[in-house]
Amino acid sequence: MSAIQQRKRKRVVPIEEACIGCRLCEVACVTEHSRSKDPVRAFKEENPRPRPRNVLEERGHESFSLSCRHCTEPHCVDACIAGAMVRDSETGRVIHHPEKCVGCWSCVMNCPFGAIHMDRERSVIYKCDLCPERERPACVDACPNRALILIEVEE
Amino acid sequence: MLFKPIHQSYGDFSIERDPQRCIGCQVCLRQCSYGVHQYNDRLCELTQDESRCVGCHRCEALCPTGALTIRRTPSDFRENALWEPTYIKNIYKQAATGGVLLTGMGNPAPYPIYWDRMLLDASQVTNPSIDPLREPMELKTFLGCRPDALEVEYDGGVPRLKTRFTPQLELDYPLLFSAMSYGSINLNVHKGLARAAEACGILYNTGEGGLHPSLYTYGKNTIVQVASGRFGVHADYLRAGAAVEIKIGQGAKPGIGGHLPGEKIGREISLTRMIPEGSDAISPAPHHDIYSIEDLRQLIYALKEATDYEKPVFVKIAAVHNSAAIASGMVRAGADVICLDGFRGGTGAAPTMIRNNVGIPVELALASVDDRLRQEGIRNQASIVVAGGIRCSADVVKAIALGADAVYIGTAALIAVGCTLCQRCYTGKCPWGIATNDPYLAKRVHPDIAAEKLTNLVKAWGHEIQEMLGGMGINALESLRGNRDKLRAVGLHPAEMEVLGIKPAGG
């Protein structure tokens, strides 16, 4: 195993028992992926408004925040016809390049988790990028009940 | 308001929503369990029905943009020193419903707070103060019956203690978490209390709701309670804890029993309490087998027998007018620890009139009980634990100087896990996830976070207690117990100072 492969890779794990369904993770995601990084401006001024890349799945009192799993063998990367979806072998992140995306939705259909979302207006997909500019993803930092935790896995 | 009876039209709180900050994320709507916030799809705006607001501040706390401020609604009524709005609104409510006014938590009325009328001493010039960061400072506390005298025997010239001690509890801090039943608060809070008690080397109390099977593992940090309803009491339960507590009364509602409505009795609670699912859990006002001190003695010894005389037995009473004489009887009946719960003590549900008007301040009860037991020469036979309105470490130090061995903290513990004292515990809708068994709400208390916060609170108070002791030139809490010379009164009547057994400041 090479040194690169032994690196620890970040994963956001939703904890269903702790999720209170507040959707602050979504607010945090929108804010982090806005131009202003300010929640008020992101929601009220920015057009188009950034969309949350994580979605609260909810049934009754059970809920969890779903976002891209950054799979080791991602189906979305295999399915991408344009080379827009790639897996960074160093960080383990599955990264989407919107400038290459042709909006064929192949990745959306192939994602077993439903973690890839369609932006129909711009004909591109959007998904979790694990907040490359932050030490911890915004959703993890915003969760008031430790229902999203950041773990590092060795691969 | 349209379609609303008059008494619901006068809300207690108003919600200020800053439209420039509100981003319409609806976090407030999801967090409010009282249905205050509503979303208008067409206008993409949030609106509110303020008459439902209980002032818990959950929405305000979680609003990501700080757009919400909850304020007390200024009274619309003409000023009247006698007919304060609370009384007027209560009468409207009762005239509409014919029911008893219910409330939660402790007595909030403006009675004197004696903790705030007592000041602590400190060393200056003639006796050195001690820095707890440099020198040892002992907070270790033992609870239980102490022998009248110690007998020592010599075995080949080596002294050995001959006296056999009855069971003692060893605490690393002079604090215990008060009795709060599984049912009145949910399992997540209980888990937090149990884990924090274990981490701090103290104890928590099950209350009268039994002990959930998952918590038996924390037995050595658990006081199991036996109350008038006998909910969840069985042989394994009694043996599971480090001590057994007989609850005679509760500071928030002296003279009456508890009532957990059937809606709160879900499957797990039903199994733990050993009552049918959905049935009301009503604790009788008295123990039906205790009508005298002699009867109390029978129950104390029945419990000691059931636990092989291995566990101290606590007896808890509400602080009432003749606590001192009752406490004397309790000690003579065989209680190893007596607990006095003052009128500020909290509850999950109590009639408002009882909570606000029955019982006495624990400071006075403590002083009189400690005095009485000393006068009768039986103070060593039982430890005294006080409860009801301990707000900070200084209150703890003052309680110990007045004669307590340790204190129970209940309300303070709940505040540590988020409680804002909205006093609506009895609705079962606690938006902070504490006094509720609704699985959607109960998740809001994460057991790990709760345990960490409670542990932090106990440790922080521990540091402060050490600092205060050091300032007085004392290096062990044991040296402060009943040392009322370390207290001085400010602004108290001589009669109150006499009961407290303390001198006026400057005197």
Determine, for residues B20 and A40 on separate chains, whether the beta-carbon distance falls below 8 Å.
Answer: yes
Mean pLDDT of B118-147: 96
pLDDT tens digit sequence for B183-231: 999 999 999 999 999 999 999 999 999 999 999 999 999 999 999 999 9
Number of A–B residue contacts, CB under 8 Å: 55
H-assigned helices in B77-159: 85-97
Cα(B139)–Cα(B171) distance, rounded to whole angstroms? 8
Determine, for residues B443 and A19 on separate chains, whether the beta-carbon distance falls below 8 Å.
Answer: yes
Whole domain around residue A48: which residue ranges? 1-67+135-155
> CA B440 → CA A40, B186, B265, B315, distances in Å?
28, 12, 16, 36
Using a CB–CB cut-off of 8 Å, the residues of B that contact A are 20-21, 23-27, 30-31, 62, 64-65, 433, 438-440, 443-444, 446, 448-449
> Greatest CA separation found in chain A?
49
Q: With contacts defined as CB-CB under 8 Å, which chain B residues touch A28?
A: 64
Q: With contacts defined as CB-CB under 8 Å, which chain B residues touch A27?
A: 23, 25, 27, 64
> CA B198 → CA B172, B192, B322, distances in Å?
10, 10, 36
Q: How many structural domains are present in chain A?
A: 2
Residue B439 reports pLDDT greater than 90: yes
Is residue A80 domain-shared with residue A55, that is, in the same domain? no
The confidence score (pLDDT) of residue B312 equals 98
Which band of pLDDT confidence, cut at 50, 70 and 90, is reported for residue B8?
A: confident
Note whether A37 contacts B: Cβ–Cβ < 8 A: no
All CATH 3.20.20.70 domain ranges in chain B, comma separated? 141-504
Is residue A79 domain-shared with residue A116, that is, in the same domain? yes
Note whether A95 contacts B: Cβ–Cβ < 8 A: no
Q: Residue B255 CA to chain centroid, in angstroms?
A: 17
Cis before residue A48, ω within 30 degrees of 0? yes
Note whether A43 contacts B: Cβ–Cβ < 8 A: yes
| Residue of B446, B449, B452, B453 to mutate, interface with A, max A Cβ within 10 Å | B446
Which of A24, A42, A61 is facing B27, going by the closest CB pair?
Answer: A24
Is residue A53 domain-shared with residue A90, that is, in the same domain? no
Mean pLDDT of A55-59: 95
CATH code for the domain defined by B6-99: 3.30.70.20
Which of A24, A26, A40 is facing B62, going by the closest CB pair?
Answer: A24
Cα(B184)–Cα(B343) distance, rounded to whole angstroms? 19
Q: Please state the ipTM of this predicted complex.
A: 0.92
All CATH 3.30.70.20 domain ranges in chain B, comma separated? 6-99
CATH of the domain at A32: 3.30.70.20
Q: Please, which residues have CB within 8 angstroms of residue A18's CB and are 6 or more apart in sequence? A: A145, A146, A147, B443, B446
Is residue A32 domain-shared with residue A89, that is, in the same domain? no
Is residue A63 domain-shared with residue A139, that is, in the same domain? yes
The confidence score (pLDDT) of residue A1 equals 44
Q: With contacts defined as CB-CB under 8 Å, which chain B residues touch A31?
A: 64
The confidence score (pLDDT) of residue B182 equals 95
Is residue A63 domain-shared with residue A85, that is, in the same domain? no
Structure tokens at A97: 């390049």
pLDDT tens digit sequence for B300-327: 999 999 999 999 999 999 999 999 999 9
The average confidence (pLDDT) of chain B is 96
Is residue A62 domain-shared with residue A5, that is, in the same domain? yes
Residue B44 reports pLDDT greater than 60: yes
Q: Into which CATH architecture does domain B141-504 fall?
A: Alpha-Beta Barrel (3.20)
Determine, for residues A27 and B62 on separate chains, whether the beta-carbon distance falls below 8 Å.
Answer: no
Q: With contacts defined as CB-CB under 8 Å, which chain A residues touch B64?
A: 24, 27-28, 31, 39, 142
**In Å, how far is A55's CA from the nearest CA of chain B?**
13
